[in-house]
Structure 1
């Protein structure tokens, strides 16, 4: 015995509604409703200015759009399946108010060009906010580097103490990477800044539309030139998320150093109590937990970028849902976690400080200034670097065997020098102590890009200039966005008066 046959002719199928369409509708409510209203206004202005629609058609459409924007509580809408999506819901409202005239707004456009314009507008808004946070982090690095230009640290290579440097020098290295990442982001933002409107479904339209005017009304720099590319070329997605990923891959390396430096065994970074959590059972523990949060949030953000890029792999070069609705919405989580990293890292770097006593102990214990002793022997004693290297190596070996500091190793040095050269050194014990001091090590390295104060000050001028140029580019974009929004509202309002 069989049960009643299910009617599958009615759209949408309940499961399709539940698993896809309802979620897409919620996504539009959260991310695109305001942008769709802007597109509708701009399109109506363009249709009016080109004469595609006449004044007696334009004015009632403008009034209806104004009423919908003013009266519809988008947040309270629930997807019922009566209309396929939010676009058709708005069109149904227009037709309910205006009859067949309500369908005239869609003249010379498609959901295809509208969708990619919506996605770009949403990305543009999020990217502008995130950019501001990246700028703030870069300024934080600059300010901290200026204050810590002469604060000594032990620099590590291969996980081992290597040479002395300064905290300012280290932060400037991280800053250089961040500035290069911001340059890559700026180029990626350029791809967002071209408007797809006017492509319609694929090939533009037979109506005399003005694509440049649409771009200007919506705050874009120019239209995307090729209409097929407007709906098929998703490099604005892959390019942006690829550039974003690098920010968090690179910051994650810096954050890992902060974890290493703040460990008990190294201890050269002091984390203030405001960024420390205690153990529930071990009262001696000071856990710099925010570092771990920054590390895993950086990894999560980079992973979310990978999802966006990988989703586009081997997809057809055409309009497709693989690059639309749900995929775009999934990508927005990148901006949420990425923002948390940038804000937390800026606050953390501002508050943390170097434990200078611990730095000196580590420097002494690991003989990190020994390279300068070798250099001094080449300059002042006329030795080859290989001779000087052998003497320095023997000196550090003797010091480490006795577990004393390098500063107290003059006798080891003198014996090694005589063994290598057959004579006594001209360097006195005071000269020796100066040669192996961290301050001397840093001050000698006054070459381009070095840690010496003058070299670092010169570099910081360059970094400030680079950041100012990048900030100016984004500020110009922001001003264009804001000016376009104001102009669109004014121009649209004038339609109500015609």
Structure 2
């Protein structure tokens, strides 16, 4: 009996296409690791299955025809056709599509998240380089959509980088839960053969296995956590992009020529469209969590499809949106230019009124009275209404004096900004080192999966661990 046309279109063909385009290498990795483990246990034909899988992965996988329902069975059909039923059957001993699929999905999401983290670290590096380049450039910042106080552009950018560093932490934490192997959990109760699940995880570059075998195939929280981290990143990027668009609208931030578009009607206009498109992608990140939450809501703990195949497409789309938002934002910052005069356009005595209040308080005037005097002296902070010497007032509310009084931790004072930049660079370097270690683990695992011989057994896995340690130290 053939598949119903509707089922073929909306389920089988769609899932097969996604798997063929994105998941095939991970299927071969997981199947090869499992065959290596069965070979270590001495199961017949497992060694031949390892060799067959390594050869088959170099060949293109056929497109969906409806003869088999998914990529796993397509691989199985080719193994059976070219290497025989016994070799094809060997790798299936104790293996379920439940633990295989979830292992593949997690490996795919891990690799995509590592790529996203690389983009995020590059954006942070660009922000810090820009902060060093615009050190001391004064900008009037807003609260409640009104000019509030002067600051410096590097102080603003250091604040943005600090926010992005926490987004990095959240993604690392989410990745740590994604980066766990379900392989060996079988359908849900565990593999009937004494496979070493920790070794399977190591062979695939995972940090370790998901311990409980039902949890390994039934839980969807790893996807929810990743989506939540992506959603928060989207909010962070959107806030930065909103500010950049505000400055661009006032001529205080000029987008690079290759990132802007002219008007179809008005020849005088050059539109900062890169910022708008980056914000669109950031907005897509904001909606990623809701879809995954619904897929996990009200599903029995033993149901799989809702939070396995169901979450893969929205998560993949969210990761793609994240990469786009990060790259477009970085390009805008690297190719753009701030205009100092426009940034200071609203610099006036009014934005330094709080300094006049402080001056009066230091002279012994009660705070409520000082506040009333300054309100009465506006606009212009007229010294005769404040009861202070004009020269003293001008000296106190000058920009250098304003900055010099703010040498607190994280403040806008020159020394505080220099120290913050130094700390941010160290923090970024540590995150880059952590990312390099994770990438090295995955890269070495792939190398070993393609070349490790079955008879090397546990000694080979131990040697792999030593090589990984040396690689991470470099």
Is this a same-fold pair by TM over 0.5?
Answer: yes
Work out whether 1:207 is the aligned partner of 2:184.
no
CA apart distance, 1:49: 0.9
1:80-119 paired onto structure 2 within 5 Å: 80-96=65-81, 97-119=83-105
CA apart distance, 1:338: 1.2
Residues in 2 aligned to 1:62 and 1:208: alpha-carbon distance in whole angstroms: 18
- Show the counterpart of 2:412: 451
CA apart distance, 1:305: 3.8
Residues in 2 aligned to 1:198 and 1:168: alpha-carbon distance in whole angstroms: 51
Work out whether 1:337 is the aligned partner of 2:321.
yes
- Show the counterpart of 2:359: 376
- Show the counterpart of 1:351: 335
- Higher CA-based Rg: 1
Kindly tell me: are residues 275 and 17 of structure 1, through their superposed partners in 2, closer, same or farther at Cα, counting changes over 3 Å?
closer
Work out whether 1:23 is the aligned partner of 2:14.
yes
1:63-142 paired onto structure 2 within 5 Å: 63-70=51-58, 72-74=59-61, 77-96=62-81, 97-142=83-128
- Residue from 360, 367, 374 that aligns with 2:344: 360
Relative to the length of structure 1, the TM-score reads 0.87
Kindly indicate whether the alpha-carbon contact (under 8 Å) linking 1:145 and 1:168 is maintained by their aligned counterparts in 2.
yes
Unaligned ranges ≥5, structure 2: 457-474
Kindly tell me: are residues 46 and 142 of structure 1, through their superposed partners in 2, closer, same or farther at Cα, counting changes over 3 Å?
same
Q: Deviations over 1:6-56 (max 9, x none)?
A: xxxx131222112211111111101111111111111111001122x14xx
Kindly tell me: are residues 478 and 184 of structure 1, through their superposed partners in 2, closer, same or farther at Cα, counting changes over 3 Å?
same
- Show the counterpart of 2:151: 165
| Aligned-residue CA RMSD (Å) | 1.9
- Residue from 184, 191, 213 that aligns with 1:227: 213
Residues in 2 aligned to 1:360 and 1:105: alpha-carbon distance in whole angstroms: 68
- Residue from 265, 273, 292 that aligns with 2:276: 292
Kindly tell me: are residues 126 and 142 of structure 1, through their superposed partners in 2, closer, same or farther at Cα, counting changes over 3 Å?
same
Kindly indicate whether the alpha-carbon contact (under 8 Å) linking 2:35 and 2:47 is maintained by their aligned counterparts in 1.
no
Residue 468 of structure 1 aligns to a residue whose secondary structure is: helix
Kindly indicate whether the alpha-carbon contact (under 8 Å) linking 1:137 and 1:346 is maintained by their aligned counterparts in 2.
yes
Residues in 2 aligned to 1:207 and 1:253: alpha-carbon distance in whole angstroms: 53
- Show the counterpart of 1:35: 26
- Show the counterpart of 2:46: 58
Residue 148 of structure 2 aligns to a residue whose secondary structure is: strand
Aligned residues: 455
Q: Deviations over 1:82-134 (max 9, x none)?
A: 11222112112222231334212101211000010000110011011110000
1:423-462 paired onto structure 2 within 5 Å: 425=388, 427=389, 429-462=390-423
Work out whether 1:413 is the aligned partner of 2:396.
no
CA apart distance, 1:432: 2.3
1:143-182 paired onto structure 2 within 5 Å: 143-182=129-168
Kindly tell me: are residues 112 and 464 of structure 1, through their superposed partners in 2, closer, same or farther at Cα, counting changes over 3 Å?
same
Kindly indicate whether the alpha-carbon contact (under 8 Å) linking 2:137 and 2:152 is maintained by their aligned counterparts in 1.
yes
Kindly indicate whether the alpha-carbon contact (under 8 Å) linking 2:103 and 2:181 is maintained by their aligned counterparts in 1.
yes
Work out whether 1:387 is the aligned partner of 2:369.
yes
Kindly indicate whether the alpha-carbon contact (under 8 Å) linking 1:60 and 1:98 is maintained by their aligned counterparts in 2.
no
Kindly indicate whether the alpha-carbon contact (under 8 Å) linking 1:270 and 1:355 is maintained by their aligned counterparts in 2.
yes
CA apart distance, 1:494: 6.3
Kindly tell me: are residues 228 and 254 of structure 1, through their superposed partners in 2, closer, same or farther at Cα, counting changes over 3 Å?
same
Residue 106 of structure 1 aligns to a residue whose secondary structure is: coil
- Show the counterpart of 2:4: 13
Relative to the length of structure 2, the TM-score reads 0.91
1:317-332 paired onto structure 2 within 5 Å: 317-332=301-316
Q: Deviations over 1:409-457 (max 9, x none)?
A: 5xx221x124xxxxxx3x3x33322223233222221111211110111
- Show the counterpart of 1:471: 432
CA apart distance, 1:215: 0.7
- Show the counterpart of 2:287: 303
Unaligned ranges ≥5, structure 1: 1-9, 400-408, 419-424
- Show the counterpart of 1:405: none
